[in-house]
Amino acid sequence: MDILGPVPEIGHGLMQGYLQDEVPLDSKQFVPAPPADGSARQKADVAASEALRTLEGSARWELAAKDAELSFPSAASIFNCALGAVVSEEQTPALYRLLQRSLTDLGLATYPAKTAYQRPRPFLVNGEAICTPQDLGSLETDGSYPSGHSAIGWGWALILSQLVPEKAEAVLTRGRDYTRSRMVCNVHWMSDTEAGMAVGAAAFARLQNNALFKATLTAAKSELAAANLATPDVEACEEESANLAMSH
């Protein structure tokens, strides 16, 4: 089984996922409708969004903008500090490929529900800025619920926790903070991120039955166990931790 062989792109820079030939996960069947206008859940969403508006222009806002970038190689570095290791195509090729392909499976799993619900994003409601203005056009027409980035970030956190269980708490904390970046950016409501995490977990469970995913997972585990892995800059990681704490 060639875990690092050529893989086609399916458009928009996405590499074909592991679940390409399987029956798609229908997220609208298990993700409930988003909060209704005027409901307690919607009021909680608005309150959470307003509380984070104070972070616009801060270091946390800038980190949220960085978290939004899901193209490679930059996306491979999101969990470096939590892992205590530098993830790269050169040093950890199996893990790098695992993240590339699972991104597609995790993210696309949100679209049945997104398309069904078509919830407006926070910036369309509050009229405030977002941390990635270059994405404004595409975000305006892409449903807010559930959050695709949150499905990816939380799904990756689950995968990495499976690979390095001794780092699970740090990895899962970063995964949770990653989903919060979407709220900081003013592009998702709190319930969008929670629903995205649920979809990411469901797709993660589906991946456990895929032979190529499991083979790549095994190879990635060996890579992370190597004694000569490069480690991230300590000061940079301390700065990241301080910035993430701003949104707690």
Q: Is 192 a known active-site residue?
A: yes
- Contact residues for 93 (Cβ-Cβ < 8 A; gap 6+): 4, 223
Nearest to 182 by CA among 67, 92, 56: 67
pLDDT for the residue 1: 78
Q: Is 188 a known active-site residue?
A: yes
Catalytic residue among 67, 105, 177, 192: 192
Q: Is 180 a known active-site residue?
A: no
Q: How many CB atoms lie within 10 A of CB 188?
A: 31
* CA–CA distance, 111 with 108 (Å, rounded to integer): 6
- The one-letter amino acid at 137: G
- The one-letter amino acid at 238: E
pLDDT for the residue 34: 98
Catalytic residue among 119, 180, 188, 206: 188
Catalytic residue among 101, 119, 149, 174: 149
Helix axes of 93-108 and 211-224: crossing angle, nearest 10 degrees: 140
pLDDT for the residue 11: 83
* CA–CA distance, 96 with 127 (Å, rounded to integer): 37
Could you say which residues of the chain have pLDDT below 50?
none
Beta-bridged to residue 15, according to DSSP, are 9
* CA–CA distance, 156 with 27 (Å, rounded to integer): 18
Domains within the chain, CATH numbers bracketed: 34-245 (1.20.144.10)
Q: Is 149 a known active-site residue?
A: yes
pLDDT for the residue 227: 77
pLDDT for the residue 187: 98
* CA–CA distance, 40 with 132 (Å, rounded to integer): 29
- The one-letter amino acid at 226: A
Catalytic residue among 97, 174, 182, 206: 182
* CA–CA distance, 218 with 7 (Å, rounded to integer): 19
pLDDT for the residue 71: 95
Helices (H), 36-189: 40-52, 59-68, 80-83, 93-108, 111-117, 122-126, 136-140, 148-163, 168-184
pLDDT for the residue 13: 84
Q: How many CB atoms lie within 10 A of CB 127?
A: 8
pLDDT for the residue 234: 97
